[in-house]
Amino acid sequence: MASGKCHSGWCERKRNYGYGRRLGYAALSALHDHYGSTDHYQTKHSHHARFANFVRWIKEHYEIKDARLIAAAHILSYGEHLLESVQDGAYSVSYAQNLLSTVNTVMRCLRHDRKLYVSPSKLVGRRTHTRQNTPHGERNEDVEQAAHALEQAQNPRAAAVLLLARAFGMRVREASLANLDRLFHEARNQGKCRILEGTKGGRRCDDRCIPVEQDQWNALEYARAHSPKGSKNMLKQDETYLGFVCRVINPGRPIIQLHGLITYREMRAAFAVAIYEENAKQLAPVKRKPLDLIAHLKALDLVSRMLGHNRRHVSRAYVG
């Protein structure tokens, strides 16, 4: 690794490579340096939040507060700690892998090299992408109660996102940015809606059509009633998506958790299970092993198309 000063104040001789005196702050500065200060907000936030777990651990066990002192042995020891947490049932394999992946990413950003890279799967085991637990939010009554609580808390836009996610299988971003006027006209004229705005990874296509029945109508009408004046979606005209998440979505999370729904993403899983069971005429795999394999595969294909990823194996993360 080259010594001396590089871009954004990086310096091998300075504490935390010149990114700041506190390790946690230095990590965030390094992430900004790597990803840019005006983009990849969610990625930076996720890495910063997960790296805080490592910061607490390494301070407690090794009293290290300077990234220059972190060695491969420390990260391997952290991996052993995470493996114990997985074996004790405190962490899932996927979460432990994410924690280690974040350490890899942040240390690469801090050091400007990959010398401390570790393999998350080798240290804590391979993750499974198949859902193991029945999703929360299968009962519409539970979702409606959580939506009512959000409205009572003066957060009806979060309630609208929750209802749209459950009724249409939308991601939070899709529900937030959906063109409600277009959805309404398509539902009225065609009896189905295309999910086009806010889609992930450029997967915008006309094939993702959701049939509109009473649950979809209820969610759509509620969202239109609480859409800000002059807006076609759930954001105000002068509001960014990041600001919407910070001011509306995140404050709603504790409320939906109080009603046993865990996350907004669980609504998408509950939608997937409902679609699977309706079309396969059997319980979702997360509840019971499929009896009719042909119906199972056809239902998986339908779920993958309606969720917007068109990959059968990804559907298993929702229906088992």
For 64, the domain range is 7-124
Is the same domain home to 112 and 198? no
> What confidence score (pLDDT) does residue 202 get?
47
Extract the tokens encoding 95. 């979460």
pLDDT tens for residues 301-310?
888 888 887 7
Provide the domain count of the chain.
2
Mean pLDDT of the chain: 86
- Statement: the pTM of the whole predicted model exceeds 0.95: no
pLDDT in tens, 230-264: 999 999 999 988 788 888 988 898 999 899 887 88
Q: Please indicate, yes or no, whether residues 167 and 261 belong to a single structural domain of this protein.
A: yes
Q: Does residue 10 register a pLDDT over 80?
A: no
Whether residue 232 sits in one domain with residue 100: no
Task: Tell me the per-residue pLDDT of 196-222, one tens digit each, with 9 for 90 and over.
Answer: 888 865 466 778 889 999 999 999 999
Task: Answer whether residue 183 shows pLDDT above 90.
Answer: yes
Q: Do 119 and 265 have their domain in common?
A: no
Residue 96 shares a structural domain with residue 160: no
Q: Does residue 186 share a domain with residue 111?
A: no
pLDDT band at 62 (very low <50, low <70, confident <90, very high): confident
Tell me which residue has tokens 């301070």: 59
Residues 120 and 169 in one domain: no
pLDDT digits (tens, 9 = 90+) for 90-134: 788 888 999 999 999 999 999 999 999 999 988 887 766 676 677
Residue 78, in any domain of the structure: yes
What's the mean pLDDT in 290-294? 85
- Provide the pLDDT confidence category of residue 2 given band limits of 50, 70 and 90: very low
Residue 1 lies in a domain: no
For residue 103, the model assigns a pLDDT of 96
Mark whether 85 and 156 lie in a shared domain: no
Residue 134 domain-assigned? Answer: no
CATH number, residue 315: 1.10.443
End-to-end CA distance of the chain: 45
pLDDT at 8: 59
Residues 288 and 251 in one domain: yes
- 43 and 153 belong to one structural domain: no
Give the model's pLDDT for residue 277: 86
Q: What pLDDT shows up at residue 126?
A: 72
Residues 146 and 266 in one domain: yes
Q: Which of 195, 193, 216, 211 is nearest to 140 (CA)?
A: 216
Does the residue 131 lie in any domain? Answer: no
pLDDT of amino acid 3: 37
Q: What would the 3-class secondary structure string for 9-28 be?
A: HCECCCHHHHCCCCHHHHHH
